C-alpha cells in the first residue's frame, strides 16, 4: 500500500481521486487545496507519491512541483490537468513530474499513472 497526497482546489476532484485510489489499495495520507498546502503537507507527511492539480489558487501545481522537487529531488509527482494545458504539462515533465492525467479522468488511466510512477 502506497501513501499518496492529493492536491486539488476542487473538493469533488479530491474525492473522486481518493475513491479511485483507496478502492485499489492505496492510502491517501493527506489532501491540499493549493500549492502552498501541497508543499507543507509533503514535508509533513512524506508521501510516496503526490498528485498535483495544475490550476489552483494562491500557488499553482507547477510552483508546488518545483518547490517539492527542490526540497526532495526524489519526489514522485503526477500532474492532473484539464484539457488544453499541453504547454504547462510539457513544462511540468521537464521540471520532474513523472506523468500527467487529463481531466475528466478515467480510473484506469489514474491507476496506470500511479503504478508507473511508483515502479
| pLDDT (0 to 100) of residue 103 | 85
Confidence of residue 107 (pLDDT cuts 50, 70, 90): very high
- What phi-psi label fits residue 7: left (phi over 0), alpha (psi between -120 and 50 degrees) or beta? beta
Confidence of residue 81 (pLDDT cuts 50, 70, 90): confident
What is the pLDDT averaged over residues 26-33? 97
| pLDDT (0 to 100) of residue 96 | 96
Average pLDDT in the chain: 94
Inter-residue contact 13 to 42 (CB < 8 Å): no
Sheet containing 77-81: order of strands = 27-32, 3-7, 49-53, 77-81, 99-102
- Would the pLDDT of 84 be above 70? no
3-110 falls under which CATH superfamily? Response regulator (3.40.50.2300)
Q: How far is CA 118 from CA 49, 51, 76, 107, in A?
A: 7, 12, 7, 17
**What percent of the chain shows pLDDT beyond 90?**
82
- Would the pLDDT of 92 be above 70? yes
Inter-residue contact 5 to 47 (CB < 8 Å): yes
What is the pLDDT averaged over residues 18-34? 97
Confidence of residue 19 (pLDDT cuts 50, 70, 90): very high
Amino acid at each position: 500500500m502506497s501513501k499518496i497526497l492529493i492536491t486539488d482546489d476542487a473538493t469533488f476532484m479530491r474525492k473522486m481521486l481518493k475513491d479511485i485510489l483507496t478502492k485499489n489499495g492505496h492510502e491517501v495520507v493527506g489532501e491540499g487545496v493549493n500549492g502552498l498546502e501541497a508543499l507543507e503537507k509533503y514535508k509533513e507527511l512524506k508521501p510516496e507519491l503526490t498528485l498535483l492539480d495544475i490550476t489552483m489558487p494562491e500557488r499553482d501545481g507547477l510552483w508546488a512541483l518545483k518547490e517539492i522537487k527542490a526540497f526532495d529531488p526524489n519526489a514522485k509527482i503526477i500532474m492532473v490537468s484539464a484539457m488544453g494545458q499541453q504547454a504547462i504539462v510539457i513544462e511540468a515533465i521537464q521540471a520532474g513530474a513523472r506523468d500527467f492525467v487529463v481531466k475528466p479522468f478515467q480510473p484506469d488511466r489514474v491507476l496506470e499513472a500511479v503504478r508507473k510512477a511508483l515502479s
